[in-house]
Structure 1
Amino acid sequence: MRTHRLDETALPVATDPRQYARVVARAHDAVVSGCRPAVSPRQLIVESWHRARSQGVNPDHGAESRPVSAGEVERRRVTCGITDDALLVLRGGLVPAAESGGHIVVIVDVEGRVLWRDGHPGVFRQADRLGFVEGACWLENTVGTNAIGTALVEGVPVQVQSAEHYVRSHHAWTCAAAPIRDPRDGLLLGAVDVSGPAGTMHPSTLALVRAVAGLAEAKLRDAHRTRLDRLRAVAAPLLAKIDGQALVVDPNGWVAASTGLPPMDRIALPDRLDSQEAWLPAFGACSLEPLPEGILLRPCAPDAPSAARVVVDVRRSGRPALTVHRTSGNWTYRLSGRHAEILLDLAENRAGRTAAELAEQLFGDRTRTITVRAEMSRLRKRFGDLLDHRPYRFLADLDVTAVR
């Protein structure tokens, strides 16, 4: 997994858009023909072109994909995880500028389906001719390189200018999109995009989209804190009656309150909690008791850990996961992009890595050991019985598999 710097996700400063478009168009023709271009555009764009080509996307008109029904769009609006408050921030922050600038604002879910569309009516008509309508899929495997689909793959804000689009019929457009993540687990909920004719896009559009997406995520965090506060009010009288160790968490493992335990923000929970007991990485076997909007966990008497098989799976773009299989039960923990990179590297290098070696692998800079140590500290808090240090590695008795 390669992490792109933010300065790779937009056009370089002071770039002449028209000259750049001519250079990129020649490079595009070479790549879709299976040749090596004389001059390559940004690395992020080249990688996306190769993905689209390998997925069989037609460079002239994209892949066949019909929009879902209006009823399905409405169902996805309700279940996508983008709350009404977050939606108000996205629309309020972007639609006025889009209407005055001759652009449209598009919000998609994690599967790239267009759920909302606002902005300039004249641009709507142009978008309709491209099939850029509510219910349409705008993933890379359908329409090739574009800001929405590429932002969902890379997990970072992306601007795609003119001929950088893989499908030629989109070369008259420029788009800028930023992913929207769920603050509870870091998973992608979707993306917000501003699109319009290539000649009307302002260089600061990507920065604006990124900032407004950040404000929407802040609204989601506020809503999460409110739910935790409600759960904390339920937890306090329960924990006051308990001797020993116990904690109350929400369904994503965020800790509302605890007793007899050191402070912690979050614990890893199994994908399914359908029994009265579960094995958790930080505590071993625990009893479970459902609460309104949460779970009461009580560690049981310690016992010998069962044999474990660990799978680091990064096949699904934007949804990497760590799965642990034990005789006492299985669980899956969704990973951030950075944590997925680290665990994937450790899974493929069982002898382990020093902080400097991980810094070189992640950032191309061996001096960034403070950042590495901070990330490893977070990982070891969650997966303390899986990871060792000096060097950093998975414990030797684990059966570890990396799946790309």
Structure 2
Amino acid sequence: MSTQDLPAPTSTPPASTRLEPGQLLFEAPRRGKPPRHLADLTLAERKDAVTKSGLPGFRAAQLSKHYFGRLVDDPAEWTDVPAAQRETLYAALFPRLMTSVREITCDSGTTRKTLWRMHDGALVESVLMRYPDRVTMCVSSQAGCGMNCPFCATGQAGLTRNLSTAEIVEQVVAGARELARGEVPGGPGRVANVVFMGMGEPLANYNAVIGAVRRLTDPVPDGLGLSQRHITVSTVGLVPAIEKLTAEQLNVTLAVSLHAPDDDLRDELVPVNTRWRVGEVLGAAWDYAHTTKRRVSIEYALIRDINDQVWRADLLGKRLRGKLAHVNLIPLNPTPGSKWTASRPEDEDAFVRTLEAYGVPVTVRDTRGREIDGACGQLAAVEA
């Protein structure tokens, strides 16, 4: 594909992606609220819910240990809870949030992508990736996405709705159960890392995502007990939300999906750039790095003849030089029928060398999952 396949970048984006005053591209459509689940609640709120069911409040801690600690999903295994109370508690705090529609695997079964149907029929995806030294889970924060990035399958599908805290957490817990039960090749294991890089824009669903981060990182029985330092939250650059995240003073990694170092091209690739420009987005990211002392990950999908030119690598290097940042280059996972495709190996190599010349740390992401429709939203699009 050549650059002439695209409309010429301009200072004003096409009408299909231009943000009008007051327009919120990332607003979620109003739909039925997901049922309340134990993972939506703090431990104190769980105690309140249990007592309102007419049962002793201490049962909340027991149920939390079963869910987050033992990864149990069958009330028959709650042997420390009287049998007569199990169904009442289960009905009150464990509604079925999602059902597996399809699971496909590659890498000898160590990469597993699951398509979930939520209680209202919305479709989301999660991916479990087992490496020799760790297990990473990529989770969705929304059903669909409202960011409208043209090279992204999820963005082109549009936004269905935000996920609840529990719907996000349950994706991780489901993967943790598979690992604990030895259902993933390599024997029993545990989730070490969680990345909010699945379907959706995490910071457009801010409250639920922060709730999920706290459930994932609070110690058992409050939560799953993961390290905050092993959680990554991505964004296309919602500056007010980045500032809000900075104020949380969490130790999670912020990942900025930049994809272009110049405003003209980024207006085309990431339409929300028409509201918050590259300089504003990176400025908010550097404030986050300064406050948290955490290195920011700059996500950059390399697209052939679109954003992979050496001069753009040079501009990116100048923007990042001396900053607490790391560039994660992503060979584009092309979607069926799309004109967007991955860069040539020689162009990828030249991009890497240019960044390294500025002293910018850079890696090329492992392209796991390409043979199982690895790009976010592909399975959901096929099912829909």
Q: Same fold (TM over 0.5)?
A: no
> Which protein, 1 or 2, shows the higher relative CO under an 8 Å CA cutoff with sep ≥ 6?
2
Q: Please, what TM-score do these two structures have when normalized by structure 2?
A: 0.23
Output the TM-score relative to the length of structure 1: 0.22
